Structure 1
Amino acid sequence: MAMVDIKQEQADEAVISAVGAGVVEMPYSIYSGKEKWLIVGMVGLAGFYSPLPANIYFPAIPTLARAFGQSIDAMNQTVTVYLVFQALSPMLWGPISDRHGRRLVYLVCLSILVASSIGMALCPTEHFWLLLCLRCFQSGGSASTIALGAGVIGDISTTSERGGYFGMFNLGPMLAPCIGPALGGVLSQELGWRSIFWTLVIMVAVCLLCIALFLPETLRSIAGNGSIPVPKRLRALVPIVGRKAAHEIYDPATKTKSKQSVNPFVLFTYPDVIVLLTFTGIVYAVNYTITATISSAFSKIYPELSETVIGLCYLPTGAGMIIGSTMTGKMLDWEYARIKKAAGEHFTIEYARLRIMPFYLVLFIICVISWGWAIQARAHMAVPLIIGVFLGWTSMGILNTTMTLNIDILQSRSSGATACTNLVRCSLAAIMISVIDRMTSAWGDGWTYTFWGGICALLLPLMLLEIRMGPVWRGKREAAEQEKSECSEVD
Structure 2
Amino acid sequence: MPEPGTCGNNLPESHDGEKDLNRHPTDNDTLHEQTRPEKSEQPEGEAEEKGETPNVKVEKPFSIYTKREKWLIVGLAAFGGLFSPLTANIYFPAIPTIAKAFGKSIELINVTVTVYMVLQGLSPMVWGTIADRIGRRPIFVACLFILSLSCVGLALVPTNAYWLLVLLRAVQAAGSASTIALGAGVVGDIATPAERGGFFGLYNVGPMVGPSIGPIVGGALAGHLGWRSIFWFMCIAAGLCCVFIFLIFPETLRALVGDGSIPPPAYARAPIPILGRNKEYMSAELPPKKRFQNPLKLFLIPEIIIPLIFSSVVFAVLYGFTTPMSTLFMEAYPFLNETDIGLCYLANGGGMLFGSTISGKLLDKDYQRLKRSLMKKAAADPEKYANPEDVTKSENWPVERARLRTVPIYIGLMAVVCCGYGWCLQEKVSIAGPLLLQLLVGFLVTGSMTSIQTLIVDLAPGQSSAVTACNNVVRCLVGAALVSVVELILSAIGPGWTYVLFGALVAAFTPLLFLVMHMGPRWRARRRAKAQSRAN
- TM-score tier, shorter chain, comes to over 0.9
Residue in 2 that maps onto 1:10: 28
Q: 1:257 to 1:447 in 2, by over 3 A?
A: farther
**1:53 counterpart residue number:** 87
Matched, 1:214 2:253: no
TM-score of the aligned structures, taking structure 2 as reference length: 0.86
Distance in 2, matches of 1:374 and 1:53, equals 30
The Cα RMSD (Å) is 1.9
Deviation at 1:308, TM superposition (A): 1.4
Aligned mate of 2:257, from 216, 223, 228: 223
Q: Amino acid of the residue matched to residue 362 of structure 1? A: G
Q: Is 1:416 matched with 2:466?
A: yes
1:261 lines up with 2:292 in the alignment: yes
Confirm or deny: 8 A CA contact 2:25 2:461 kept in the other structure. Answer: no
Counterpart for residue 186 of structure 2: 152
Query: Is 1:164 aligned to residue 198 of structure 2?
Result: yes
CA contact (8 A) 1:288 1:429 kept: yes
1:249 maps to: 281
Query: Which amino acid in 2 is paired with 1:209?
Result: V
Secondary structure of 2:443's match?
Answer: helix
TM-score normalized by the length of structure 1: 0.94
**Per-residue deviation at 1:130?**
0.4
3-state SS of paired residue (2:364): helix
1:327-367, CA deviations, whole angstroms, 9 ceiling, x for partnerless residues? Answer: 11001111111110111347411111112112101011111
Q: 1:216 Cα deviation (Å)?
A: 0.5
The structure-2 alpha-carbon separation of the partners of 1:365 and 1:7, relative to structure 1 and needing over 3 Å to count, comes to closer
Q: 1:409 to 1:252 in 2, by over 3 A?
A: farther
Aligned residue for 1:104? 138
SS of residue in 2 equivalent to 1:469? helix
User: Of the candidates 220, 233, 236, which is equivalent to residue 267 of structure 2?
Assistant: 233
The aligned amino acid for 1:50 is S
2:325 partner amino acid: I
Q: 1:212 to 1:480 in 2, by over 3 A?
A: farther
Deviations 1:11-36 (A, max 9, x none): 12451446546865422111000000
| Aligned residues of 2:324 and 2:487 also touching (Cα < 8 A) | no
Alignment of 1:376 onto 2:426:
yes
Does residue 276 of structure 1 match 2:307?
Answer: yes
Distance 1:199 1:398 in 2: 32
Q: 1:437 aligns with which of 477, 481, 487?
A: 487
Distance in 1, matches of 2:293 and 2:306, equals 22
- Cα 1:332–1:443 change in 2 (3 A) is same
Contact 1:14/1:28 (8 A) holds in 2:
no
Aligned position for 1:453 = 503
**SS of alignment partner, residue 218 of structure 1:** coil
The answer as to whether partners of 2:246 and 2:271 remain within 8 angstroms in 1 is yes
Q: Distance in 1 between matches of 2:331 and 2:288?
A: 56
1:338 aligns with 2:399: no
Q: 2:25–2:459: 8 Å Cα contact kept in structure 1?
A: no
Q: Does the CA-based 8 Å contact 2:422-2:497 persist in structure 1? A: yes
1:468 is matched by which residue type in structure 2? H
Secondary structure at 1:236's aligned position in 2? Answer: coil
In structure 2, the partner of 1:181 is 215
Give the Cα separation in 2 of the matches to 1:166 and 1:278.
20
Change (3 A) 1:323 1:21: same
Q: Distance in 2 between matches of 1:464 and 1:295?
A: 36
1:250-399 alignment to 2 at 5 Å? 250-252=282-284, 259-344=290-375, 345=391, 347-399=397-449
Larger Rg: 2
Percent identity over the alignment is 46
- The alignment of Structure 1 onto Structure 2 pairs a total of residues equal to 480
- Deviation, 1:309, is 1.2
1:478–1:150 CA distance, 2 compared to 1 (3 A): farther
Unaligned runs of at least 5 residues, structure 2: 1-21, 42-56, 376-390
The code of the aligned residue for 1:307 comes to E
Tell me what 1:205 maps to. 239
Structure 1 residue corresponding to 2:512, chosen from 456, 459, 462: 462
User: Quick one: which amino acid aligns to residue 12 of structure 1?
Assistant: T
2:388 is aligned to none
Mean alpha-carbon deviation: is it higher for 304-313 or for 220-229? 304-313
Q: Distance in 2 between matches of 1:325 and 1:283?
A: 16
Structure having the higher helix fraction is 1
Deviation per CA, 1:434-463: give whole Å up to 9, x if none: 011111111111112211211111122111
State the Cα distance separating 1:41 from its structure 2 match: 0.5
Provide the secondary structure at the position in 1 that maps to 2:292: coil
Q: Which amino acid aligns with 2:189?
A: D
Write the distance in 2 (CA, Å) between the matches of 1:355 and 1:103. 34
